[in-house]
Amino acid sequence: MQAQIKTLLLMAAVMAAIIVYAVIPTEITMGNYTIRKITLTNLSQPLIERSKPIKHTAKKVRRNQTILFIGDSMVEGLSRRLGDYAGENGHKLYTVIWYSSTTERWGTTQTLEHFIAEYKPTYVLICLGSNELFINDLANRTQYVQQLVKKLGNLPFVWISPSNWNGDTGINDVIEENVGKGHFFDSRNLKLKRGSDHYHPTWAAAAYWMDTAAKFIKSKECANPLLLNKPKAHHKATNTKLLQPSFEGY
């Protein structure tokens, strides 16, 4: 009797093992290895094989672009150096400097749409926020940044953040959180020599700022890399539009 019971228990264990084997997945992946369940069709294949490496598609570097560079007075120094990059790399540069402007001015008027229609850019650079480093209405600024980004549609862009001279109350974080990954160049920790007003960088410091931003804009970290090899000669930025603080926008 005991022998029969042992036989029945053994048969039950075998049946349970067969049922479990039948319901487990065909493949189980552990780290870099894949374990396949043996079937009649793959008895001749190895039980364990390395997973195929994931292929990363290289981002397309944009060449011969029409660049629109907009923003506040900080753009003045940056665009001088960007003109060198544009001339060296076959881009056409249009610059719009709206003195004392803010995300509110650009976000709530049709000014950006006006210049997009006029210059028909294929790439946009923005430098805004220096006049908002110490504001407290961050919820409103969030809306303005979102409105500005929405105006860009599908145009590739990079937002060059303000370079803080005495910290900020959150505008840099607002911009970074709302422009999307690969569209934000963080300038806040750059140590720039300032001019006589203690706010605007010297021409040399602004050139260094642009050189540093260019390294990001041409890198794979940028959502839309732009060809920006370091210039070997000076190329004057000639297509510059100046808007005074009293301008109310289009």
- What pLDDT is stored for residue 53 in this prediction? 56
- What pLDDT is stored for residue 35 in this prediction? 56
- DSSP class of 204: H
Closest of 111, 115, 15, 129 to residue 72, by C-alpha: 129
pTM of the complete model: 0.77
- What pLDDT is stored for residue 16 in this prediction? 65
Closest of 217, 115, 118 to residue 159, by C-alpha: 217
Residue 225 in contact with residue 218, Cβ under 8 Å? yes
* pLDDT means over runs of 10, the chain (250 residues): 67 65 58 55 49 64 97 97 97 98 98 98 98 96 98 98 94 97 96 94 97 98 97 90 97
Radius of gyration over alpha carbons of the chain, in Å?
Answer: 29
Closest of 172, 120, 178 to residue 149, by C-alpha: 178
Map tokens 């000669």 to a residue.
233
CA atoms within 13 A of residue 51's CA, in its CB half-sphere: 12
- What pLDDT is stored for residue 106 in this prediction? 98
Closest of 91, 94, 81 to residue 236, by C-alpha: 81
The alpha carbon dihedral of 72, 202, 123, 214 has a sign of: negative
Task: Provide the CA 44 distance to its chain's centre, in angstroms.
Answer: 48
**Angstrom distance (rounded) from CA 36 to CA 151:** 51
- What pLDDT is stored for residue 22 in this prediction? 59
Domains defined for the chain, CATH in brackets = 2-50 (no CATH), 66-243 (3.40.50.1110)
Task: Provide the CA 134 distance to its chain's centre, in angstroms.
Answer: 25
Q: Strands 66-71 and 92-98, how do they pair?
A: parallel
Buried b / exposed e along 54-68 (16+ C-beta atoms within 10 A): eeeeeeeebeebebb
